[in-house]
Chain A
Amino acid sequence: MKIIIQGARVIDPANKVDGRFDLLIEGTKIMAMERDISPPKDTHLINAQGKLVVPGLVDMHVHLREPGREDKETIATGCKAAVAGGVTSMACMPNTTPVNDNKSITNFIKCRAQEVNLANVYPIGAISRGSMGEELSEMAELHEEGVVAYSDDGKPVMNPLLMRRALEYAQLFHLPMISHCEDIHLSADGLVNEGLISTLTGLKGIPREAEEIMVSRDIILAKMTGGPIHIAHVSSAGSVSLIRQAKKEGIPITAEVTPHHFSLTEEMVLHFDTNTKVNPPLRTKRDVEALIEGLRDGTIDAIASDHAPHTLAEKEQEYNLAPFGIVGLETLLAVSLTNLYHTKKLDLNTLIAKLSYNPAQILKIPAGTLSIGAKADICIIDPEKKFVVIGSQFYSKGENTPFQGQKLIGTPIMTLRAGKIVFPLDDPDEAAGNFNNFSSSLR
């Protein structure tokens, strides 16, 4: 099967490409990228004039909930949501039920993702058994089964000795440790950012320092052991400064930020909407500005969604009872374009790199590039398309988005994975290339 995507602005940070090119896909691979490719026989043409063509996005922080909480999300619905958001590769966190601290769960997730056959799913293994923070998980077994990193995300590894041993032991596998930085003693029962809004609402606050203290600790442990440590969902200006300094000293640290953390602030909490309840919490303008500056100067390497679907019933509760978490796969790109590109805070090349090449490099997965011979995982974007976020229309089972009702500019209009169109599809369960509808869907 041959496909040519014609006339788009192709942005491929891996190869420092930014220009008008045609892209030729044969089978599952990218075969050529040139000014004007004259179509060979039997080639399907996709007219992408005025659109952007970028590598399929890589979301390195996603909660797929399966096994155990299929009521919130399944690997199938998570993958549908991913490709609708332009994401063709994602790393899923191990806080499933049971926790992914063994090869059976890792294997199950991989097999299930293969059956669904829409996106590439890379499991992350737990750092500690059951993510209880007491004993090391069998990291070698997890490594053999194919995890791309270790994390106890959802929770921090509170015991520094355990974190040290995990880092030392993991030197055997050269996989990053992804750290959820939160001192649970300082954050104790907190629900929102500790600040003016927590004072006004009477909702218990989580101080920034709960994150900063653990970021600081992890930086020191990374220096001590050789790391590498990847800091998940950075939310505080202080954390950005610490990471910046650590990188200056050559300490093996990388970091990610979520779209909600660089877009929203704690004022949203005033109406007690539980779709604003997330850990780490929404903070202040000063933090937002520091996070964006961190993206600009390279302190923060990646943008990741921390996609955390919950059931309607769970989120429709009193603020203190509702679980923490926001969905993000289907708004990852649109929010990034709206609040970083259209506001001229970040140029398109840098933005796309944060969403594709950089996370792929951190996880060392074959994704995030449009190199010749690479897998044809591609996202076609209409950067000017305006739309309103409607949670109930998501492919994800979760509707818990703080962007509900917001107007965004820029969205993926087609996603290809291994050379097949996986979004949009009339019937997403049929993952065969369906070219009859693509020209209309590019309107």
Chain B
Amino acid sequence: MFKRKDLLGIQDLQREEISTILDTAESFKEILTRPIKKVPTLRGKTVINFFHEPSTRTRISFEIAAKRLSADTINISPSTSSLIKGESLKDMAKTLEAMNPDIIVIRHSAPGAPHFLAQVAKFSVINAGDGAHEHPTQALVDLLTIKEHKGKIKGLQIAIVGDILHSRVARSNIFALGKMGAKVRLIGPPTLIPPFIEQMGVSVEPLLEKGIRDCDVIMLLRIQLERQKRVFFPSIREYARLYGLTPDKLSKAQEGVLIMHPGPINRGVEIDPRVADAPISLILDQVTNGIAVRMALLYLILGGKR
């Protein structure tokens, strides 16, 4: 059962709600194999993609999802909107509300921005990533992908590798995997592991080869070396040497291990090209599932009728 007006994060979702979303997504996957990949379910509905941060995957995924359900979609980005004139988020929200859209899909660099929108306006809000806080649709995509390939989620050992501190994908996945009964281990340099993270029910292992030994799935996160991040680790070179997943390091993992990555990937940094393109890599499956999951969410949030 899913009756929420908004999807702001995984943190407050019940297990049953997550199951409903995944089941609905599975049924929408079938549409994606038809020659005419469109159903009239959300005809006449308006979905606005408000992407304050750059995105390829998530934005196009939401746009395609909405269009496949016959909804009308509009994209807003800061450079082409009056946000560049200094308009506040509150005014942007109120302005959009006055045009009566059904759903706003928001990606923003500020944690809490989707919550702010949901408080300030009547339309439904889907969080497509708010700063380092949550990226709930990505976590749902990841759950679906794991379920498809492993048959279950409960009891699996999942490793998440990389810059956990700045990662919304990590946070949402920690919540999601935890609620569905999987065990999560975080792997990364100590400077990029958030304080008190064990209180979220996860374990931490600073060494990659040790940490992946008994894993069913290894999720890799993109590493970035921005100006500030120079203080977290000395260089990409050193990061790649310690935490980049190469076939050699992968050989320490168990038989049947699968590789995931939310994308975009840095070939040769956190993931070796041979691993990225290997049959055990589910990266492109995640992309395909992204559309089904987002279709499911748009459908469920707008009442799940028809």
Residues of A within 8 A of B (CB): 189, 194-196, 198-205, 271-272, 313, 316-321
Contact A320 B194 (CB under 8 A): no
Q: Mark B99-131, 1 if CB is under 8 A from A, else 0.
A: 000000000111111011000000000000011
Which residues on the A side are within 8 Å of B109 (C-beta)? 320
Please report the C-alpha to C-alpha distance between residue A221 and residue B194 in the assembled complex, in whole angstroms. 33
Given A199-B196, A203-B111, do A320 and B89 touch, yes or no (CB 8 Å)? Answer: no
Given contacts A317-B90, A318-B89, 12 further A-B contacts (CB under 8 A): A195-B195, A196-B196, A199-B200, A201-B112, A202-B168, A203-B132, A203-B133, A205-B195, A272-B111, A317-B89, A318-B110, A318-B116
Kindly provide the distance from the CB of A194 to the nearest chain B CB, expressed in whole angstroms. 6
Given A200-B200, A202-B132, A271-B115, do A194 and B195 touch, yes or no (CB 8 Å)? Answer: yes
A–B complex contacts, Cβ < 8 Å, 12 sampled:
A194-B195, A199-B196, A199-B197, A199-B199, A200-B171, A200-B200, A202-B131, A202-B166, A203-B133, A318-B110, A320-B109, A320-B111
Contact B194 A198 (CB under 8 A): yes
Contact B11 A200 (CB under 8 A): yes
Which residues on the A side are within 8 Å of B82 (C-beta)? none
Please report the C-alpha to C-alpha distance between residue A317 and residue B117 in the assembled complex, in whole angstroms. 10
Given A317-B90, A320-B110, A321-B110, do A202 and B196 touch, yes or no (CB 8 Å)? Answer: no
Kindly provide the distance from the CB of A187 to the nearest chain B CB, expressed in whole angstroms. 13
Which residues on the B side are within 8 Å of A318 (C-beta)? 89, 108, 110, 112-113, 116
Which residues on the A side are within 8 Å of B112 (C-beta)? 201, 203, 272, 318-319
Decide if B88 is an interface residue (CB 8 Å cutoff).
yes
Given A317-B90, A320-B131, do A202 and B171 touch, yes or no (CB 8 Å)? Answer: yes
- Closest A residue by C-beta to B115: A272
Kindly provide the distance from the CB of B78 to the nearest chain A CB, expressed in whole angstroms. 13
Kindly provide the distance from the CB of B227 to the nearest chain A CB, expressed in whole angstroms. 12
Decide if B134 is an interface residue (CB 8 Å cutoff).
yes
Kindly provide the distance from the CB of A359 to the nearest chain B CB, expressed in whole angstroms. 35
Kindly provide the distance from the CB of B94 to the nearest chain A CB, expressed in whole angstroms. 11
Contact A199 B194 (CB under 8 A): yes
Kindly provide the distance from the CB of B11 to the nearest chain A CB, expressed in whole angstroms. 7
7 closest A-B pairs by CB: A272-B112, A202-B132, A318-B110, A202-B133, A199-B194, A196-B196, A202-B111
- Closest A residue by C-beta to B168: A202
Please report the C-alpha to C-alpha distance between residue A195 and residue B166 in the assembled complex, in whole angstroms. 14
Which residue in A195, A198, A317, A319 is a CB contact (below 8 Å) of B88? A317
Contact A319 B90 (CB under 8 A): no
Kindly provide the distance from the CB of A299 to the nearest chain B CB, expressed in whole angstroms. 26
Contact A195 B171 (CB under 8 A): no
Contact A202 B134 (CB under 8 A): yes
Contact B130 A202 (CB under 8 A): yes
Please report the C-alpha to C-alpha distance between residue A201 and residue B133 in the assembled complex, in whole angstroms. 5
Please report the C-alpha to C-alpha distance between residue A200 and residue B174 in the assembled complex, in whole angstroms. 10
Please report the C-alpha to C-alpha distance between residue A45 and residue B113 in the assembled complex, in whole angstroms. 56
Please report the C-alpha to C-alpha distance between residue A190 and residue B207 in the assembled complex, in whole angstroms. 28
Q: Mark B8-36, 1 if CB is under 8 A from A, else 0.
A: 00010000000000000000000000000
Please report the C-alpha to C-alpha distance between residue A316 and residue B89 in the assembled complex, in whole angstroms. 9
Most chain A beta-carbon contacts within 10 A, residue among B111, B194, B199, B200 = B111
Within 8 A of A (CB), among B188-214: 194-197, 199-200
Please report the C-alpha to C-alpha distance between residue A284 and residue B146 in the assembled complex, in whole angstroms. 37
- Closest B residue by C-beta to A318: B110
Kindly provide the distance from the CB of A206 to the nearest chain B CB, expressed in whole angstroms. 12
Which residues on the B side are within 8 Å of A313 (C-beta)? 88
Which residues on the A side are within 8 Å of B131 (C-beta)? 202-203, 320
Please report the C-alpha to C-alpha distance between residue A272 and residue B111 in the assembled complex, in whole angstroms. 8
Kindly provide the distance from the CB of A210 to the nearest chain B CB, expressed in whole angstroms. 14
Kindly provide the distance from the CB of B296 to the nearest chain A CB, expressed in whole angstroms. 25
Please report the C-alpha to C-alpha distance between residue A297 and residue B108 in the assembled complex, in whole angstroms. 47
Which residues on the B side are within 8 Å of A199 (C-beta)? 194-197, 199-200
- Closest A residue by C-beta to B231: A188
Please report the C-alpha to C-alpha distance between residue A321 and residue B111 in the assembled complex, in whole angstroms. 11
Contact A272 B116 (CB under 8 A): yes
Which residues on the A side are within 8 Å of B194 (C-beta)? 198-199
Please report the C-alpha to C-alpha distance between residue A195 and residue B194 in the assembled complex, in whole angstroms. 8
Please report the C-alpha to C-alpha distance between residue A202 and residue B111 in the assembled complex, in whole angstroms. 6
Q: Mark B72-101, 1 if CB is under 8 A from A, else 0.
A: 000000000000000011100000000000
Contact B195 A198 (CB under 8 A): yes
